[in-house]
Amino acid sequence: MNIHEYQAKQLLKQHGVAVPSGEPCKTVAEAKAAAEKLFAAGHTLAVIKSQIHAGGRGKGTFKHGFKGGVKLAKSVDEAVNFAENMLGKTLVTVQTGPEGRVVQTILVAAAEKILKEYYLAVLLDRANSRPLIMASTEGGVDIEEVAAHSPEKIIKEWVDPAVGIQPYQARKIASGLGLKGDAFNGAVKLIMGVYKTWWECDASMVEINPLAVVETPAGKEAIICVDAKIGLDDNALYRHADILAMRDLAEESPLEIEASKFALNYIKLDGSIACLVNGAGLAMSTMDIIQHFGGMPANFLDVGGGASKDQVSAAFKIILSDPNVKAIFVNIFGGIMDCNVIATGIVEAVRETGLKLPLVVRLEGNNVAAGKATLASSGLTIISGDTMADAAKKVVAAVAA
Amino acid sequence: MSILVTPQTRLLVQGITGAFGARHAQLSIDYGTQVVAGVTPGKGGQIFEHRGVKVPIFDTVAEAVRETKATASAVFVPPPFAADAILEGVDAQLDLVVAITEGIPVNDMIKVKRAMQGRSTRLIGPNCPGIVTPGEGKDSHGGCRIGIAPGYIHKRGHIGVVSRSGTLTYEAVYQLTSRGVGQSTCVGIGGDPVNGTSHLDVIQLFMADPDTHGIIMIGEIGGSAEEEAAEWIKAHGTKPVAGFIAGATAPPGRRMGHAGAIVSGGKGTAQAKFDAFRAAGIGVAATPSEMADTLLKMM
């Protein structure tokens, strides 16, 4: 699960991490009040940030022509003008696709005077199954670029999960970033807090980019998280009711939400051949083999190892509600699962939905003869494939026809 | 011979009274596997009975091991309790713990993996189909089946299969068996980002097993475990290996069903893994339909 920047900053703040003062606002009136509060507190600049789950907000353009999903305001009036141009409007960025996302919340926050930008992230290092803290003096830019071109500029510190992060590790990182004085001390506390956020929230990633040394209104140096991104481990959400409450369904695909209600794993793609498969590996391979023979998959869909008739029926309805779908490829290896149960589910689903599109079915495994007989005696036009390759060729041909 | 388990392996099932654990304990008994104990806290003293086989249930793994000499365990415990169940098996000094459970929080597994350092137990999984060493009987009956794989698709023979995915393992096994080629052992290592046993671990076991003559290695996008295995094979491989990587067409940044199947930050792409395979002399199946044929051509 992903959350918004303002929510990520709330979690960080709860773990003692310094973030700019600010508030999420859903209306222009709220934005005005938040901006007034910031200017009254002595800040001279406020940043108004569109809250959507996609990146590239600053360089994005709203569909009504307004440029920039992140803007700096020098006055309350300016902040109000930006709020009016963002709230309820559709923002298109490099990551949203041409349809864009409606901005329902903006973050109105203090824009501190940035002296230097850094990068900080915590993630799992899969190579040794340990938490990894990554930091760099190259902040505010694409860290993958830094990793590719100047890997020496990335500091890595692994945490022993038996004891958790130790303060000396945070000091090593702060020193490696070249920080001194107040910024050094602030960074140590901040790094500890960012790590604790990652661990205690069961995050899959916490990324602070940029992390920045700023000049406070009092003229001192401080280090704060200017932007923050947190991804959560879905498997651990059961023990974080507060984080689960942050889920924003408006940011998720309606079809994917519908699929999750039936414990189906569905991801919409751009092609024309819908797939219905059991098992994640086989589902990925089915997409691959479709493309190998010249077709394009319309989705990833894993019905799981013990799919019921109801799930098969729900899966059909979901893949058929994608208007790009021109044919369906069912690929089932029923190891323990009874192929006849799947076949019965397919026949029922085809009747219920009045399916007119070509349907190619490849069934293999437990009780496969009965399953094939059920399909054959249904009176429906179902193209049968003997192997994955045979079925994939047939479904690609059906779309081309 | 085989790796990890033999038809003599004495299996205990953690979570034997749950619907999922019970069903697969029954199927393992049907397959001829020595299911010698069950563990469900609070149900110690009860008996799990299937087709005349009476399996005693214990409250703790330690007690089950002491009473039955079980050496391997299958974990069917729900995700919130699975890490504890795995560590209970480690504490009881089992040779092997196979965690079938899907959906264990990553941080739980990070802790488990750390706690297992220096311990003698090997963990397979989690989120895996388990292990099968086929038997000599009809439909490979009499073998050791730990987990949820369909036993009947196997055949006793000399090909080792290792994979992150369940159904894709079955696909490879079925392709082999339907061509009359049997398997020494088939290992599903699981689709999670933190797992107990890697591709490389299993490949090393297969290379050292005189009964294994060729290997099918199936990977997925995400992580770099396949590359590490390929690197080792390039330097030390002594037997033909063929492989496939699932997810070449998956969009980056999206988790494809398995928690570990994700391309992020340009890492873990299918292309990088296929390149590593080719560089190591591993036969690359152009499609998942050709996994068995690709290996058989090399032998």
Look up residue B103 and give its two tokens: 């959906």
For the segment B220-231, what is each residue's pLDDT rounded down to a tens digit? 999 999 999 999
Domain B155-298 has CATH 3.40.50.261: yes
Average pLDDT over residues A130-145: 90
Q: Measuring CA to CA, which residue among B92, B51, B50 is closest to residue B75?
A: B92
Distance from CA of B193 to the nearest CA of A (A): 6
Report chain A's mean pLDDT, rounded to a whole number.
93
pLDDT of residue A304: 81
Average pLDDT over residues B133-159: 95
Question: How far, CA to CA in Å, does A161 sit from each of A11, A239, B113?
Answer: 21, 19, 9
Q: Answer yes or no: is pLDDT of A105 > 80.
A: yes
Question: Contact A203/A232 with Cβ under 8 angstroms?
Answer: yes
Percent of chain B with pLDDT over 90: 92
Q: Is the pTM of this model over 0.90?
A: yes
Question: How far, CA to CA in Å, does B179 sit from each of A160, B76, B213?
Answer: 48, 33, 16
Domain limits, CATH 3.40.50.261, in chain B? 155-298
What residues in B contact A279, CB-CB < 8 Å? 165-168, 257
Q: Measuring CA to CA, which residue among A325, A254, A259, A320 is closest to residue A296?
A: A325
Report chain B's mean pLDDT, rounded to a whole number.
95
- Interchain contact, A300 vs B256, CB within 8 Å: yes
User: What does the alpha-carbon distance between residue A69 and residue A88 come to, in Å, rounded to a whole number?
Assistant: 12
User: What does the alpha-carbon distance between residue B117 and residue B124 come to, in Å, rounded to a whole number?
Assistant: 14
**In whole angstroms, what separates CA A361 from the centre of its chain?**
32
Question: For residue B221, what is the DSSP state?
Answer: S
Q: Give B28's pLDDT tier (boundaries 50, 70, 90).
A: very high
Q: Phi/psi at A372 (nearest 5 deg)?
A: -65, -35
pLDDT of residue B134: 97
**In whole angstroms, what separates CA B78 from the centre of its chain?**
18
A contact residues 8-47, partner B, Cβ 8 Å cutoff: none
pLDDT of residue A390: 95
B contact residues 210-229, partner A, Cβ 8 Å cutoff: 218, 220-225, 228
- Interchain contact, A284 vs B193, CB within 8 Å: no
pLDDT of residue B83: 98
Q: Answer yes or no: is pLDDT of A239 > 90.
A: yes
B contact residues 18-57, partner A, Cβ 8 Å cutoff: 27
Q: Measuring CA to CA, which residue among A142, A122, A129 is closest to residue A59?
A: A142
Q: Answer yes or no: is pLDDT of A78 > 90.
A: yes
First to last CA, chain A: 40
pLDDT of residue A227: 95
Domain B10-124: give its CATH architecture: 3-Layer(aba) Sandwich (3.40)
B273 touches chain A (CB under 8 A): no
Q: Phi/psi at A274 (nearest 5 deg)?
A: -80, 145
Question: Contact B152/B137 with Cβ under 8 angstroms?
Answer: no
pLDDT of residue A77: 96
Choose the closest CB to B249 out of A236, A277, A288: A288
For the segment B94-104, what is each residue's pLDDT rounded down to a tens digit? 999 999 999 99
Look up residue A243 and give its two tokens: 């984080």
Average pLDDT over residues A159-181: 97
B208 touches chain A (CB under 8 A): no
List Cβ neighbours of B175 (8 Å cut-off, separation of 6 or more): B289, B291, B292, B293
Kindly identify which residue of chain B lies nearest to residue A270, measuring between CA atoms.
B251
For residues B186 and A334, which has the higher predicted lDDT (pLDDT)? Answer: B186
Average pLDDT over residues B40-44: 97
For the segment A276-314, what is each residue's pLDDT rounded down to a tens digit? 999 899 999 999 999 999 999 999 999 887 677 788 888
pLDDT of residue A90: 96
Q: Bridge partners of A102?
A: A90
Q: Measuring CA to CA, which residue among A183, A170, A178 is closest to residue A138?
A: A178
B110 touches chain A (CB under 8 A): yes
pLDDT of residue A190: 98
For the segment A88-101, what is each residue's pLDDT rounded down to a tens digit? 999 999 988 888 99
For the segment A360-378, what is each residue's pLDDT rounded down to a tens digit? 999 988 888 899 999 999 8
For the segment B243-253, what is each residue's pLDDT rounded down to a tens digit? 999 999 998 88
Domain limits, CATH 3.40.50.720, in chain B? 10-124
**Rg of chain A in Å (alpha carbons):** 26
